[in-house]
Amino acid sequence: MMRVGIIGAMDVEVTSIKERMTIDKIEQVGDNTYYLGKIGDTEVVVARCGIGKVNAAICATTMCVKYDVTHILNTGIAGSLDNQINIGDIVVSTDAVYHDFSVEPFGYPAGMVPGRKTISFTADETLRKLVVDSIQKVAPEIQVFEGRVASGDIFVGQKEKKDWIISNFGAKCCEMEGCAIAHVATDYHIPFVIVRAISDKADEESTVSYEDFEAQAAEHCANLVFQVLQSL
């Protein structure tokens, strides 16, 4: 039985999903509220985790341990790190990295968590392809890019920082939760994918762009996720 955990950092990233799903039960665990029900024939658990990596990890762990989700889908918004990826476009993760994690003085590359074999957490290929194919089917006018997602507890709004992340990690977009969710999902052997709508270009204009397009991009992404799950 498939049970998909859907996690967004902010209310705007999950509200349209909650409004359109069939809700059977609402439960409070810690500071998070979990909505249990169905989208089409697929069982789902939907939650707003709050901004940042720790909040995301807490929510993802609850999804895995308490609700026994079989898959995790992280929806939301991100800043573009690729000139070809514009506001409103979608990035679907191939993998995820921490751009703000470093123990380099001990010989580890930037982003490497000691004890891991690689710096990245790989998204499930089958789930990723399903999401990409579904988006292209239900919204063929949308530009969809597949690539690495870089996460950190920093809103990236400076070209210097943006260029550093691109140079060190080759990521397509940056945000603040995805890699923590990927980390937890990997530890619990749960297939995951991150789906992000671009709200800004992660540069000096990003705060203006973010304020203008935050709600639009978040709802855009949530609507696509809803349609993807309906097609499962």
DSSP code of residue 124 = P
Of 11, 13, 89, 211, the catalytic one is 13
Cα–Cα distances in angstroms (integers) from residue 80 to residues 13, 123, 178, in the given order? 17, 19, 14
Q: 């540069």: which residue's tokens?
A: 203
Task: Verify whether residue 13 is a known catalytic residue.
Answer: yes
Rounded CA gap, 173 and 165, in Å?
A: 9
59/31 Cα distance (integer angstroms): 10
Burial of 69 from C-beta contacts in 10 A (0-12 / 13-18 / 19+):
buried
Here the tokens at position 80 are 């573009």
Dihedral in degrees, nearest 10, Cα atoms 26, 51, 75, 169: -150
Tokens 């203008």 — which residue? Answer: 212
Per-residue model confidence as pLDDT tens for the chain (232 residues)? 899 999 999 998 899 899 889 999 999 999 999 999 999 899 999 999 999 999 999 999 999 999 999 999 999 999 999 999 998 899 999 999 999 999 999 989 898 999 999 999 999 999 999 999 988 887 888 899 999 999 999 988 788 899 999 999 999 999 999 999 999 999 999 999 999 989 887 565 655 455 667 777 777 777 788 888 877 6
Q: Are 102 and 168 in contact (CB under 8 A)?
A: no
What residues contact 214, with CB distance under 8 A and at least 6 apart? 12, 77, 199
CATH 3.40.50.300 fits 3-230, yes or no: no
- Rounded Cα distance, 186 and 55, in Å: 17
Predicted local confidence at residue 153, as pLDDT: 95
Identify whether 204 is a catalytic site residue: no
Per DSSP bridges, beta strands 121-122 and 90-98 are antiparallel
Question: In the block, which residue shows the tokens 């409004």?
Answer: 19
pLDDT confidence of residue 232: 66
pLDDT for the residue numbered 163: 92
| Nearest-angstrom CA–CA distance, 151 and 139 | 27
The residue from 82, 175, 177, 200 that is catalytic is 200
Domain ranges of the chain: 3-230
